[in-house]
Structure 1
Amino acid sequence: MNESPGWASPGSAPSDGQKPGVPRPAEPTDQSDAASKWSKEQPPAGQWSAPSGQNTPPDPPQQQPAPNWGGRPRGGGWGGPPPAAKPGVIPLRPLGVGEILDGAVSTLRAHWRTVLGITVTVAVITQICDILIQRYLLPAPPEVDQNATPAEALSQSVDVMQSTLINSAPTFAITLISTLFTTALLTMVISRSVLGRPVTLADAWREAKPRLPQLLGLTLLLPLMAFAIMTVGILPGLLLGGGVGTALSLLLGLAAFVVVVWLMIRFSLASPALMLERQSIMKSLSRSAKLVSGAWWRIFGIVLLTALLTFIVAMIIAVPFGLIAYAADDGLDGLLSGRTPEFGWPFLIITGIGAVIASSITYPISAGVSVLLYVDQRIRREALDLELARAAGIPGYGPEQPTDNTPGS
């Protein structure tokens, strides 16, 4: 598919210590020689008249200054800079937060067949596997005695926590695999939507398939890194025990959590770099760190806002389906009584349908924000907008560069 979005090679990026190949206007020619040829005796200013027999050309009309709207001149016919080219879902210039979110939603609207084909397929397979595992493989949650003594209540709490962790492990693994496929495929779709080019599910799969092993390694590495850091922070207090150990675990655990958040934001652009630039795992982590450098708080705010929005959307969809599932399976009386419900097929099927709908909406938004953040940082640092405009064939940006099937070329 000869539809490469024209991603510049990371070897020529200024974040790697080199200057981007941005065309610059030519330097003005030296006027010293020409100025020396003028006569030293010049008429006074404003009193020069044309020689007899020649028509005096009319004075050129004065150019009106561009109107100032809120402190910034507008483009178009008012003398300001022209608006940025927009061949696809985003304008080719540094993006604001609203434009990044709008670009993610616009991708879902513009390529809804491909995007929903990816997300619905992955979400349905994920939910079927999750339902079967919950129904046939996972143990039943332990019973909680409401009249237990404090020591028994503490023991029951530990049992419930262990059961929750065991039951969450398969769901986490399934979610990890589903995120892997959706991220890989949607990255290719969004990279094409930046240029306004269509892409089919078969095209996205053909381009993403060779990068799946590396993306799987990156997807596993980041949670393992976070788990190892949290373990190092909490373990000394647990080994010490007692009140001092608990306080130490809380303090070091909080410090470890801050480190984890810092690293996850620092490496948040590694997945797009790995897919679009065809980097190795470690080089994609280094690439993300360089792109995020100097913009950590901005990217943190956008990632946090995106997570909050997707959570709200998921809850808006999941809560009604959960209530319907409770009513259809155990009845709302069981929910209000506080006893542990026994979930049957109706509950699992109805909540699974809600999860599929929520995933079909939230997956494209999350993936879109991640890829568009990557594009935005490269526009800000490496003038990627010029390369994208050339690849899109927009007039005024030089001849269109020859492209191949490699998104990282």
Structure 2
Amino acid sequence: MTDQPWVAPGSGPERPDPTAPPPPGGWTPPPVPPPGATYPPPSGATYPPPPGATYPPPPGGSAPPPGWQPPAYRTVDVRPGIVPLRPLGLGDVYGGVLKAVRGNPAATIGLAALTCFALLLPTTALGAFLAGQASSDPLGAFAATDTVPDNAGISIVGQYLPTIGQLLSAVLLAGFLAQVVGQAVLGRKVGMGEIWRSTRGRVLPLVGVVLLTGFLLLVVLVVGVAAAVALIVALDPGDTGGVLAAIGIALLVALVTIAVLALLATRWAYAAPAVVLERIGVMASIRRSWGLVGGPTKGPFWRVFGIRLLTGIITGIASTVITFPISLLLLGVVAATTIGSGSSDGGALLVAQTLVSGLTALLTGALTTPFSAGVDALLYVDGRMRREGLDIQLIQSAQGAAAPPWPSTSL
């Protein structure tokens, strides 16, 4: 009678009977392991956790529910479209915008060029006509004679009409590109007709968002300038200390005003994409953007601010490189023609300046606005992935298991 515990056949290593005769062929039994011996699992083998096992909660969160697993985007890189469906880095944002432009040039650069041309052609033509109503440079004549020349106000308004057309085209392109990028994230390529049909109903809310936020930013700027002027006037500039104090106060007020403007502009960065992709109104989109971006002490505020600032620098440099040689050449030709003809009429120079302004606005709008508007749209998508788990819904939508988070262009 052996004192070893009995082991059922097939449930573990069986001990051979030492009294049994060996099998033929010289076979010898393997060595019997000592009682209580343990062995490491085979390489790559996995085992279910023991019943009742617990695991630490995610960082900063409460205890997870039973069966909790990390989100899929932490381990799986799903990419049905231009970006991976996970929180995006700077390279993902810029690379995604460039992929959207290269993969769908008709709905990005083509649509931008068409929009800018449709809005800049009438505003530039009207601006050139109004600018030509002045017989000389109105600002130069005023500086020389201290009298306002005839039609000076009309001439100045005409020179800035192309800028108004550029602003309106930028408003529309922000909505168009948000729709293009929203579909491209899901791997869908869309045409200009589809974009217009799906976005035309959002034009008025887009204009409302731009006008309201622009008006509020202008109010902040005016208040800042007025406060600086009032403080400077209240000081006694009769001594050196008063002058230095006035300069210091003016700089301080300027810095505070710039900080407030940057804060508001950053927290309203998602308003235009939200109007188009979420089909919400003006005030709702502003509140939505305010909550998604968050403040300087929490949320992705500094990330959004930094990426948008870098994007502005890049597009500004690109615009200068593109437009400066053209502007210089055209203005030089007009000036040489005017001087060579012996004409002292400055109206021709004002007309030429207005035409050049419209041409450069068309070029920059067609080439750089798709990039900056696409960056804002991808930052909006990234903000929702980081704060609302939108990436999970996008993955399910790409797999056909859930509806897309925004309407398709075919609707």
TM-score by length of 1: 0.69
Alignment of 1:9-408 (within 5 A): 50-52=13-15, 61-63=42-44, 83-138=76-131, 140=134, 141-142=137-138, 144=140, 166=157, 169-238=160-229, 242=233, 244=235, 247=247, 251-293=252-294, 294-331=299-336, 342-343=348-349, 352-393=358-399, 400-402=401-403, 406=407
Go from structure 1 to structure 2 and tell me whether the alpha carbon gap of 1:387 and 1:308 turns closer, same or farther (over 3 Å shift): same
Q: Which amino acid aligns with 1:316?
A: V
CA distance in 1, matches of 2:144, 2:256: 30
1:315 CA drift (Å): 0.9
Deviates more, 1:188-197 or 1:283-292: 283-292
CA distance in 2, matches of 1:367, 1:143: 35
1:210 CA drift (Å): 1.5
Aligned to 2:138, what secondary structure does the other structure show? coil
Go from structure 1 to structure 2 and tell me whether the alpha carbon gap of 1:324 and 1:296 turns closer, same or farther (over 3 Å shift): same
CA distance in 2, matches of 1:264, 1:286: 13
Gaps (5+ residues) in structure 1? 1-40, 65-80, 394-398
CA distance in 2, matches of 1:237, 1:360: 38
CA distance in 2, matches of 1:116, 1:333: 36
Q: Any conservation in 2 of the 1:215–1:274 contact (CA below 8 Å)?
A: yes
Q: Which amino acid aligns with 2:289?
A: S
Please list the CA deviations of residues 276-315 of structure 1 after superposition, one character each: whole Å capped at 9, or x if unmatched.
1112222211111111112211111000000011111111
CA distance in 1, matches of 2:406, 2:12: 65
Please list the CA deviations of residues 352-399 of structure 1 after superposition, one character each: whole Å capped at 9, or x if unmatched.
444423321211101110010011111111111111111112xxxxx5
CA distance in 2, matches of 1:349, 1:143: 19
1:175 CA drift (Å): 2.3
Structure showing greater radius of gyration is 2
Deviates more, 1:124-133 or 1:313-322: 124-133
CA distance in 2, matches of 1:237, 1:135: 37
1:270 CA drift (Å): 1.2
1:406 CA drift (Å): 2.9
1:273 CA drift (Å): 1.4
Deviates more, 1:133-142 or 1:263-272: 133-142
CA distance in 1, matches of 2:185, 2:279: 18
Gaps (5+ residues) in structure 2? 17-28, 33-38, 46-73, 237-245
Q: Any conservation in 2 of the 1:230–1:253 contact (CA below 8 Å)?
A: no
CA distance in 1, matches of 2:259, 2:94: 26
Go from structure 1 to structure 2 and tell me whether the alpha carbon gap of 1:156 and 1:101 turns closer, same or farther (over 3 Å shift): farther
Go from structure 1 to structure 2 and tell me whether the alpha carbon gap of 1:232 and 1:167 turns closer, same or farther (over 3 Å shift): farther
Q: Any conservation in 1 of the 2:384–2:390 contact (CA below 8 Å)?
A: yes
Q: Any conservation in 2 of the 1:185–1:205 contact (CA below 8 Å)?
A: yes
CA distance in 2, matches of 1:168, 1:345: 8
Go from structure 1 to structure 2 and tell me whether the alpha carbon gap of 1:42 and 1:231 turns closer, same or farther (over 3 Å shift): farther
CA distance in 1, matches of 2:265, 2:5: 70
CA distance in 1, matches of 2:146, 2:77: 63
CA distance in 2, matches of 1:174, 1:244: 42
CA distance in 1, matches of 2:301, 2:336: 48
1:172 CA drift (Å): 3.8
Q: Any conservation in 1 of the 2:232–2:250 contact (CA below 8 Å)?
A: no
Q: Any conservation in 1 of the 2:116–2:365 contact (CA below 8 Å)?
A: yes
Aligned to 2:306, what secondary structure does the other structure show? helix
CA distance in 1, matches of 2:146, 2:234: 18
Go from structure 1 to structure 2 and tell me whether the alpha carbon gap of 1:114 and 1:196 turns closer, same or farther (over 3 Å shift): same
Q: Which amino acid aligns with 1:137?
A: L
Which protein, 1 or 2, shows the higher relative CO under an 8 Å CA cutoff with sep ≥ 6?
1
CA distance in 2, matches of 1:154, 1:323: 29
Q: Which amino acid aligns with 1:144?
A: G
Go from structure 1 to structure 2 and tell me whether the alpha carbon gap of 1:189 and 1:378 turns closer, same or farther (over 3 Å shift): same
Go from structure 1 to structure 2 and tell me whether the alpha carbon gap of 1:42 and 1:101 turns closer, same or farther (over 3 Å shift): farther
Go from structure 1 to structure 2 and tell me whether the alpha carbon gap of 1:363 and 1:137 turns closer, same or farther (over 3 Å shift): same
Go from structure 1 to structure 2 and tell me whether the alpha carbon gap of 1:254 and 1:162 turns closer, same or farther (over 3 Å shift): farther
CA distance in 2, matches of 1:346, 1:165: 13
Go from structure 1 to structure 2 and tell me whether the alpha carbon gap of 1:110 and 1:42 turns closer, same or farther (over 3 Å shift): farther
Q: Any conservation in 2 of the 1:237–1:244 contact (CA below 8 Å)?
A: no
CA distance in 2, matches of 1:87, 1:137: 51
1:187 CA drift (Å): 1.1
Go from structure 1 to structure 2 and tell me whether the alpha carbon gap of 1:60 and 1:242 turns closer, same or farther (over 3 Å shift): closer
Identity of paired residues, percent?
27
